[in-house]
A and B are shown apart, each in its own frame.
Chain A
């Protein structure tokens, strides 16, 4: 089994890490880059496949040279065997379409990939397009919103449980021939119910901790020439998407009123108690209002 995982570096949107300017625009220079949080589910799914079915995992990203750190982080998480970074000025400002063409070409250059994993949308673009579009370029079957999977190498198939319409209440099981593409849902839960799986997991953890120390030795970097990509189909020139303008999200108007009452103010507190009394007695018709 040869699996590949797509990952992307995104601004670290966590409180305390992210910086916005006065107009509410993201300050990329002041915000650190981290692995897209949703990609971890794809990494877990790939790791489960490696542990249960063996084989190598290739981890791929497209972006500036600094994404090497993102790949190292991924190597530690998924215990990847080799890393691929597609990095070139010509690729700057690619939309999802141009990115998909680039990634698909790079995956074909690796060759022999049986299973491709991608996460469920990135934290910056939020499109959720790149994984499926890459798969479309490869002309492979795709299974999205996957929460569990099992590969049958003898049959050459992957069987997956997926959320229908992203709803946790509704799960269907589907099967696809290999090679195939899996989009892991944030609900994906790896399962290691065999001692041998857990022992293999432990072995990989030890091996990879060592390998990640020296991740650059396992990293291949390609530019558009190495992949023989036509500049008209990549980067800004190859991107049909037009971003006309970006507006800050306005604050939602408050629909409820709040009155501040000082607990020392006995009259005010009496009013509060009176107003609450019908809810306490269960007389208020709208139960949601009680929770407000």
Chain B
């Protein structure tokens, strides 16, 4: 650390060569790469421990084509920080109680060195320890419980960060690795929270399993694991799907839906999780008499096809991972953490090169160039999708596709394709997945048609009775910042903010214990429908920042929800 005069009011600020905001995989990769290049690096993490604020599905991939993978940067990563290698992948097309299953292992193995199931508290807290060791040697280190609240500017130019807990800090490089709800990205004007159709919302339960049950019921060895995806008619028209991942001794089960579809259908997302958990298909893996939910969680997922920033840098600020919208969700391909790791390492490399050439201000530009040169941008925002989207997502084309699937011509074609194994092959085609439109056809109409005509009925009975939303909230750990709510509803009218009552994963109609509640105010002889708000149960997913009219910030360092699984 050194102090130097800010060029502005002559104030002395603490200075580090690099400040990394967020100690998830993107921030950890950036910090480790910077530190290995001898760059004095300070990492600010708002959670009481890294991982306590982080949620993902989650499977982390190491791609063969990627210039950096997480185990390149952290050699013991797989042995120390992950749950279970993923070796088999399936998708289940569901129509009522009929199911047709395809093996997706081929597309998952395409370009995959390895893939492991992870729980983020364990994974990220392990990374934090490694990153602190590496960065401390440079004179920096990791500080937890510190929330970067904004950008420090001098004459309009970004020169550092402000925080709730510390005096402002200047840096030659500011890495915004502060996740999907990045306040730095929004303050810099690089990302916004406007359009629901640019986001997915994921909701997940982590379920404990008796010893040996995962190996028995999935018929796998201890060093094997599975992913299962679920699509079809079980979500009553809400576009999206379900997932089940095997961890070491738990299962991660959840749904990911298009946020615009959640809003349009006024879908209760916790109930849709129950729909999946209680489906007969899951009876082979989970049972009512032993069912124990360890944690309920939620997060927003950027749809990188639409929002991955083509140039995620401004002055000394660079964005990596979810903060830059770098999350690849294309049909059954859901990859985020690996791209954040690659991007983080590329930032570290770009700054090290820029510094050695005597012009640190070139780091952002170099980073963006390498995102293209290394093929990251093409993976997360394929040109093919942008080109095909105008056709496949056109309302008339989409409706035609839906009707075709349901018509006799479509059925005959589907039958022929099924007989020839073409449908399974298409599911396993990376190119096909790149052009998959965000319409109902691939999520619901086609899977339902496949299951109806080719599926087998499920005989088993699912006896699971999931906990209520109130019980789920009751199980979560909070350190509430009393008297200092981090979200303020700016327009309480039903029109502006009513969508949050159903879309918020910890709110529901007729539930009084959630964040958002419907209220009717009677005054001057007329009734007005409004929302009332309480930030206490908030899981900090960011949904209401988009679907309601709010002033949305993260809680101060160490405050708010603390995930134990993640």
Contacts and interface: CB of A to CB of B under 8 A. Distances in A.
Interface of A: 193-196, 198-199, 202-203
B14 A198 contact: no
Given A199-B143, A202-B141, A194 B166 contact: yes
Contacts of A198: 143, 146, 166
A277 B84 CA distance: 68
B16 interface: yes
A193 B167 contact: yes
15 contacts: A193-B165, A193-B166, A194-B166, A194-B167, A195-B1, A195-B16, A195-B42, A195-B143, A195-B169, A196-B14, A198-B146, A199-B1, A199-B42, A199-B141, A199-B143
Contacts of B143: 195, 198-199, 202
Contact of A199 (B136, B167, B169): B136
Most B Cβ at <10 Å: residue of A193, A194, A196, A198: A196
Given A199-B141, A202-B141, A194 B136 contact: no
Contacts of B132: 202
B140 interface: yes
B166 A195 contact: yes
B140 A199 contact: yes
Contacts of A194: 1, 14, 166-167
Contacts of A193: 165-167
A199 B143 CA distance: 7
B138 to A, nearest CB: 11
A195 B136 contact: no
Given A198-B146, A198-B166, A203-B136, 10 more contacts: A193-B165, A193-B166, A194-B1, A195-B16, A195-B44, A195-B166, A199-B136, A199-B140, A202-B141, A202-B143
A154 to B, nearest CB: 16
A198 B141 CA distance: 10
B530 to A, nearest CB: 31
Contacts of A203: 136
A234 B169 CA distance: 54
Nearest to A194: B14
A33 B337 CA distance: 51
Contacts of B141: 199, 202
A200 B132 CA distance: 12
Interface string B142-181: 0100100000000000000000011101000000000000
Contacts of B44: 195
A245 B166 CA distance: 54
B252 to A, nearest CB: 32
B167 A196 contact: no
A203 B132 CA distance: 11
A210 to B, nearest CB: 15
A198 B146 CA distance: 10
A198 B163 CA distance: 14
A189 to B, nearest CB: 14
A203 B141 CA distance: 10
Contacts of B167: 193-194
B346 to A, nearest CB: 25
A190 to B, nearest CB: 13
A194 B14 CA distance: 7
A203 B1 CA distance: 15
B149 to A, nearest CB: 14
A143 B562 CA distance: 41
A148 B40 CA distance: 31
A257 B237 CA distance: 68
